[in-house]
Chains A and B, each alone.
Chain A
Amino acid sequence: MSMFLETLIGGLLAGTMYSLVAIGFVLIYKASGVFNYAQGSILLFAALTFVTLTENGVPAYGAIAITIALLIATAIAIEKLLLRPLTNRSPMTLFVATLGLSYVVEGVAQGIMGSQVRALNLGIEDLPIFLGDILISQFDLVAAGVALVLVVVLSLLFNKTRIGIQLRGVADDTRAALSLLASISTASGRSSGPLPVLLVSLPACSGVRGRGYSFLCRWSSLRRFLSLSSAASPR
């Protein structure tokens, strides 16, 4: 019985991290109508940046801050160079464009920062907690806690704030939103979403440490889960 409970709790906690990735998809789709196929690649980009920074001696908090800044810059660039020229094109075109984007992001990220397997240390101790004889990973608890906070914040954002409601309007009916809003491009620009992507990336990648999973291994199983492309293989 304790074995069952342990597996159940562990599975639920791990599932929370997957759900975060899924929320990233949903957020972008809900806020812009774009089915963002590059989500997984941006995840990889965020994690790689963080790892590269910490490996080069940047403290964890600094690395997180720089990663966030870089992701925001990337998101703005994506909006300017990709989404804006494709405004009002069919969803299919947008989808294929994000597929192309995932190639660019993966190619650039791995080209600059290397594609070898690395370990990610977030500085959270992974001491198991015992509830009776049930073992719970402290690390998973932290990740799940972060996930919970994020879900609450995001649902507040989309239900209570002006920008959230605007974004939903744009996604529901771009034309109607265009006639009501002065700044649709701002709205869709914000929706290309540095925030969700990043917030989703860090905890998801953080699940790696202390479990014997190599970082990229975990990443590829994530990608599998998201039905994204498997790693480049020989012709």
Chain B
Amino acid sequence: MAEFDLRAIAEPVDPIGLKAVGLVSVAALVLAAPFLASEYWINAIIVPFLILSLSGLGLNLVTGYAGQLSLGAGAFMMVGAYATFALQLRVPELPLPLALIAAGLISGVVGPVFGLPSTRIKGFYLIVSTLAAQFFFEWLFLKFPWFYNGNSSATIALSRGLSFFGLNANGAHGRDYLTLGIVALLTWLSFNLIRSQTGRNWMAIRDMDTAAAVIGVPVLRAKLQAFAVSSFILGIAGALWALAYLGSASVQSFGLHRSYQILFIIIIGGLGTIRGAYLGAAFVSLLPLALDWLFQYLFSGQVDAGLLQNIEKAIFGILIIWFLIREPEGLSRLLALRRTAAVAFFLRNPFLHFLKQEPEP
């Protein structure tokens, strides 16, 4: 009984398709959420949560799956945002979805350029190369007014708002569904990608690149692929962040702190899992709210906002360290453990035994 995998017996416990029911109810909840939540919740929590999840997903592909630590997430988001802005401004015929894809592609070309050093160097030096992307693009997009169209405040904003194919996505619900659609599509694509040969190549490189090379994985190509796909997704996420969430963005919206935030999302959520990006993003978006409420409740709003921000910062740091020490696989692993425990509880409970299907002989 000591070595006994609960997951193995948990598998048959799905007589009425609980998994399918779960998926359908989650989908229904997600679709209905805009009508259940107030406009504040949609604008301030749901939309940024979705976009942060998407960025986490993008970074997770290169860091969690391909094992190349990158601190350039903010930079690639920035490229996507500025590219979308430029395309919408200078090629007005291009509908928004195509502009987003084109911006993603531009970002997806830029990513491998800064990922190129990964073919020769590893670890810290690669971090420096991705940091270089961060500083380079902050400089580039501030230095040349062409990128922000000479705007006096050096910010970018869509002149025509979020409308395409006669649809208007400017309202809270419109933005929510636009973001949701893109996030769902890209999640589905990444999910398939990581289960394909490409994804398996990435994981092989992450686990041991020498061994991967020995069994015939094209290491250099796969690393650059990972950077390309990751920055494609990050670029689209950046465009959404600037245009669907913030409305108008500047270089500061994609500073180094954004890169850290996204790195933290995938560490807290779980490196190398798709759902980790969502869990991490939910955590990162809800923690400040939870703390806020807690302090409101405890001190009835007498806490200074600056102090609150510092407390939040310290708590984030502590959580990062805690996760690294105790649960390097993050929230998604914790969740899996809880699930296994719940299944075990049902299996042990004689009254619920009817749920257990006998495996077909």
Name the one of A104, A232, A233, A235 contacting B317, with C-beta atoms under 8 angstroms. A104
Take A92-B123, A95-B124, A230-B257 as given contacts and tell me if A115 and B320 are in contact as well, using a CB distance cutoff of 8 Å: no
Within 8 A of A (CB), among B182-211: none
Contact A95 B324 (CB under 8 A): no
Q: How distant is the Cα of A31 from the Cα of B317 in the complex, in angstroms?
A: 24
Within 8 A of B (CB), among A167-198: none
Contact A93 B324 (CB under 8 A): yes
A116 to chain B, nearest CB (A): 9
Q: Tell me if A6 counts as interface (CB < 8 A to partner B).
A: no
B289 to chain A, nearest CB (A): 12
Q: Tell me if B309 counts as interface (CB < 8 A to partner A).
A: yes
B288-319 vs A, Cβ < 8 Å mask (1 yes, 0 no): 00000000000000000011011111111111
B250-287 vs A, Cβ < 8 Å mask (1 yes, 0 no): 00100111001001000100000000000000000000
Q: How distant is the Cα of A99 from the Cα of B263 in the complex, in angstroms?
A: 10
Contact A100 B324 (CB under 8 A): yes
Q: How distant is the Cα of A91 from the Cα of B69 in the complex, in angstroms?
A: 11
Main secondary structure of the interface of A (DSSP, over half): helix
| Chain A residues within 8 Å of B318, by CB | 100, 104
Contact A230 B256 (CB under 8 A): yes
Q: How distant is the Cα of A19 from the Cα of B315 in the complex, in angstroms?
A: 32
Taking CB as reference atom, which chain B residue is nearest A114? Answer: B306
Contact B311 A107 (CB under 8 A): yes
Q: Tell me if B321 counts as interface (CB < 8 A to partner A).
A: yes
Contact A100 B320 (CB under 8 A): yes
Q: Tell me if A110 counts as interface (CB < 8 A to partner B).
A: yes
Taking CB as reference atom, which chain A residue is nearest B255? Answer: A230
Q: Tell me if B34 counts as interface (CB < 8 A to partner A).
A: no
Q: How distant is the Cα of A102 from the Cα of B255 in the complex, in angstroms?
A: 17
Q: Tell me if B1 counts as interface (CB < 8 A to partner A).
A: no
Q: Tell me if B42 counts as interface (CB < 8 A to partner A).
A: no
Q: Tell me if A82 counts as interface (CB < 8 A to partner B).
A: yes
Name the one of B69, B256, B324 contacting A97, with C-beta atoms under 8 angstroms. B324
| Chain B residues within 8 Å of A89, by CB | 324
Contact A107 B313 (CB under 8 A): yes
Contact A97 B320 (CB under 8 A): yes
B220 to chain A, nearest CB (A): 20
Q: How distant is the Cα of A108 from the Cα of B312 in the complex, in angstroms?
A: 10
Number of A-B contacts (CB under 8 A): 88
Contact B260 A99 (CB under 8 A): yes
Taking CB as reference atom, which chain A residue is nearest B323? Answer: A100
Total chain A interface residues with beta-carbon distance under 8 A? 31
Within 8 A of B (CB), among A71-114: 81-82, 85-86, 89, 91-93, 95-97, 99-108, 110-111
Taking CB as reference atom, which chain B residue is nearest A84? Answer: B325
Q: How distant is the Cα of A13 from the Cα of B123 in the complex, in angstroms?
A: 33
Q: How distant is the Cα of A89 from the Cα of B328 in the complex, in angstroms?
A: 11
Take A103-B314, A107-B313, A115-B306 as given contacts and tell me if A97 and B131 are in contact as well, using a CB distance cutoff of 8 Å: no
Main secondary structure of the interface of B (DSSP, over half): helix
B209 to chain A, nearest CB (A): 13
Taking CB as reference atom, which chain B residue is nearest A92? Answer: B69
Q: Tell me if A139 counts as interface (CB < 8 A to partner B).
A: no
Q: How distant is the Cα of A51 from the Cα of B207 in the complex, in angstroms?
A: 47
B192 to chain A, nearest CB (A): 28
Central interface residue in A91, A93, A107, A227, by most chain B CB within 10 Å: A107
Contact A35 B310 (CB under 8 A): no
| Chain A residues within 8 Å of B309, by CB | 232
Q: How distant is the Cα of A54 from the Cα of B319 in the complex, in angstroms?
A: 33
| Chain A residues within 8 Å of B317, by CB | 100-107
Q: How distant is the Cα of A95 from the Cα of B69 in the complex, in angstroms?
A: 10
Name the one of A91, A97, A102 contacting B124, with C-beta atoms under 8 angstroms. A91
| Chain B residues within 8 Å of A35, by CB | 124
Q: Tell me if B135 counts as interface (CB < 8 A to partner A).
A: yes
Contact B255 A233 (CB under 8 A): yes
A75 to chain B, nearest CB (A): 16
Q: Tell me if A229 counts as interface (CB < 8 A to partner B).
A: yes
Take A35-B124, A92-B123, A115-B306 as given contacts and tell me if A97 and B321 are in contact as well, using a CB distance cutoff of 8 Å: yes
Contact A103 B255 (CB under 8 A): no
Taking CB as reference atom, which chain A residue is nearest B306? Answer: A115
Contact A96 B324 (CB under 8 A): yes
B58-79 vs A, Cβ < 8 Å mask (1 yes, 0 no): 0000000000010000000000
Q: How distant is the Cα of A81 from the Cα of B324 in the complex, in angstroms?
A: 12
Contact B314 A108 (CB under 8 A): yes
Within 8 A of B (CB), among A221-235: 227, 229-230, 232-233, 235
Q: Tell me if B46 counts as interface (CB < 8 A to partner A).
A: no
Contact B255 A104 (CB under 8 A): no
| Chain A residues within 8 Å of B127, by CB | 95
| Chain B residues within 8 Å of A230, by CB | 255-257
| Chain B residues within 8 Å of A82, by CB | 321, 325
6 contacts between A and B (CB under 8 A): A92-B69, A95-B69, A99-B320, A104-B313, A108-B310, A110-B310
Contacts beyond the supplied A105-B317, A115-B310: 15 A-B pairs with Cβ under 8 Å: A81-B321, A86-B324, A92-B123, A95-B124, A96-B263, A101-B321, A102-B317, A103-B314, A103-B316, A107-B314, A107-B315, A107-B317, A108-B310, A227-B135, A230-B257
